[in-house]
Structure 1
Amino acid sequence: MMETKVKIIERVKQGEKIVDIAHSYNMNHSTTGMILQNKDKIMKDVKSVVLMMSTIILKKHGKGMEEMEKLLSVWMQDEHQHQVPLSLMLIQEKTKSFYEDLKKKHGEESEGSAFKASHGWYHQFKDRANLHNVKVRGDTRESP
């Protein structure tokens, strides 16, 4: 539900009519209005969750993970702007490459299991990085 609220807020910011947005989500106009009325609180809650998730990831994989996600986000946006087709497999390979390079840079040793750039990680990363507009072949959750 939180994801839907954020999408509604983003669509209003992009200039879509509230009536059209409410209709697309099969909601009452008043429900959409309440979401917009509470948008500051909703966005604050979203930022808190993103910060918490980033902290969990940082603790689990070290400081290289946060830097790797930033690099990957920039790379994906650049590829998207240049209309380079992306596949989930290509993104996973690029992710592992960035991660390994950054581990070496930061002098981090491999502890326990290696980072796998799994489908679950990818979908959470895509949400955290707000990359909903980037189309990826093999992504089962592509936005319409």
Structure 2
Amino acid sequence: MLHSFQNGNKSKRRNCAGRMEAGKRENSTDYNRSIKRRKTITLAQKVDILNRKARGDKNCMISRDLDLHEATIRRIISRKDQIMEKCKAASGCLALQSHGRNRSLCMIRMEHLLSLWIEECNKKELVLRKQTVQAKALQLFSQVRKERNETKSKETFSASKGWYSGFMKRLKSQGVAKLREADSTNDAATEVPEGKAKTRKSGRIDDLEEILSMVEVLKQKIANADYDDVRCMKVIQEVDKAFLPYKRMRKEKKKIKVEQILPD
């Protein structure tokens, strides 16, 4: 009798544990389903919210029309001065902000100035390289930080490939004419002769990498030091053209290195 009583208690405990585990799984599933993704609110949308509030629309009405939480509307309204300052920094180029979130005033102003510079280059029918645009962006970013007395700010900007790709998309949405980019496949530099290519095989890839990295530093220094944009751009183009054989040499050596590693 005692044995059957103990077995009954064990089965009750197992059933209770099973129900608790099932409840946890259901609660976990419900919790995961209830998670909402954060919505991206562009600067243009924030300005629209402020304009509607200025016209007398109530927060609940704006919230319902835009499918946003009312607390989000209140937070945007409370940051009116900061939002309008960003618009002023953009100077009408609101399309440059339509794809980002929490972009700094320095970035907004820099991209606006960069877009104006590209428009001037297009009018002069100047061909631009990706590296030239990136160098100009770094120069303008440093200039804007000095103008705003934010040199001690922790914000960094490296004009990366990702930023360049995003900036080109924003530039297109703004309606700026297509950038006149140089075609690397049809460059004016001549092909490397076969005899010279053989003599270069004795060099090291590390040396070439060091030389080319120094060239990039040199172009950055030129962009920061020269106040004449057109002259600066032409000098950087000439530097790129002069060092193109070294880039091809590096490509050759990497190809040779891969062929040596791969089995026959």
| Distance 1:52-1:85 versus aligned 2 partners, 3 A rule | closer
| Distance 1:111-1:82 versus aligned 2 partners, 3 A rule | same
2:179 matched to 1:134? yes
Equivalent residue, structure 2, for 1:79: 121
2:98 matched to 1:51? yes
**Higher share of residues assigned helix:** 2
* Kept after mapping to 2: 8 A contact 1:68/1:102: yes
In structure 2, list runs of 5 or more residues that go unmatched. Answer: 1-93, 185-264
The structure, 1 or 2, with the larger RCO (C-alpha pairs under 8 Å, 6+ apart) is 1
Mapped to 2, the partners of 1:76 and 1:48 lie a distance apart of 16
Q: TM-score, normalised by structure 1?
A: 0.52
Figure out how many residues of one structure are paired with residues of the other and give that number. 88
* Kept after mapping to 2: 8 A contact 1:87/1:136: yes
Q: TM-score, normalised by structure 2?
A: 0.30
* Kept after mapping to 2: 8 A contact 1:57/1:65: yes
| Distance 1:123-1:138 versus aligned 2 partners, 3 A rule | farther
Equivalent residue, structure 2, for 1:94: 136
Equivalent residue, structure 1, for 2:209: none
Amino acid across the alignment from 2:151: E
Equivalent residue, structure 2, for 1:9: none
Structure of larger gyration radius: 2
For residues 64-114 of structure 1, the C-alpha deviation after alignment (integer angstroms, 9 at most, x for no partner) is 110110000010111012111100111111100000010011011354463
Mapped to 2, the partners of 1:48 and 1:120 lie a distance apart of 18
Amino acid across the alignment from 2:136: K
* Kept after mapping to 2: 8 A contact 1:126/1:132: no
For residues 122-144 of structure 1, the C-alpha deviation after alignment (integer angstroms, 9 at most, x for no partner) is 110111121462132379xxxxx
In structure 1, list runs of 5 or more residues that go unmatched. Answer: 1-46, 140-144
